[in-house]
Structure 1
Amino acid sequence: MEKKVLLIALILAQFTFIGISGALAADQYSYTGKGTVTFNHAEHGKKMECSACHTEEEPAQIAISTKKEGHDLCLSCHKDEKKKGNKAAPTSCSQCHKK
């Protein structure tokens, strides 16, 4: 009986971790002709609220639906970071869009 309970618990834990990893997996976005933009979800999550990019719905969806919205959000924050002296925040096309 204890082995069955343990097995069920392990299976449920596995599904939980699969769900969590799937929720955080979309860290790379590609734009045709411009190169691949790699987005570090964990690093950005340390510095800003989830609602800056995600909707309140479950599961959370990305609230940025157009290229303009993405550029407006990313560039405004990155430019602010540059003014504060953070040289790691990219502001030119080629710094984000890698070919």
Structure 2
Amino acid sequence: MKFRTVLPVVIGILMFAVVMAMAAGDKGAENISLYGGKSGEVPFPHQRHQATLGDCNTCHELFPQEAGSIERLKAAKELKKKQVMNKHCIRCHRAMKREGTRSGPTSCKECHVKK
């Protein structure tokens, strides 16, 4: 192959590798405090969930991987008020508990922290 053909391919592969390495290194905050309405904030161990689940899409199928995305989607009426916590988080925690796997909280009071 000619040099003019090989060079762009090599550069493309290197750029792809750099982007993938950067994405793998960015795991977001270790812990996140989620708005919990009148019931109080919800401490969320983000990196513990990543380590346990191994697939970001398990949670992020509902909302983008951006700070504040849950609240923006609720304000735009694209997510219902309790859709994430009550229907997604608790459902997963209860399923893990039924399987005998250590899981997170399964009731409202275990997550919401009033100050």
Identity %, equivalent residues: 32
1:52 Cα deviation after fit = 1.9
Q: Which residue of 1 aligns with 2:32?
A: 27
Please list every run of 5 or more consecutive structure 2 residues that lacks an aligned counterpart in the other structure. 1-21, 74-78
TM-score (norm 2): 0.52
- Classify the secondary structure of the residue corresponding to 1:98: coil
Give the superposition deviation at 1:45: 0.6
Count of matched residue positions in the alignment of Structure 1 and Structure 2: 76
State the SS of the aligned residue for 1:53: helix
* 1:69 positional shift: 2.2
The one-letter code matched in structure 2 to 1:95 is E
Which structure has the bigger radius of gyration? Answer: 2
**Aligned ranges 1:44-55 → 2 under 5 Å:** 44-48=49-53, 49-54=55-60
Larger strand fraction of residues = 1
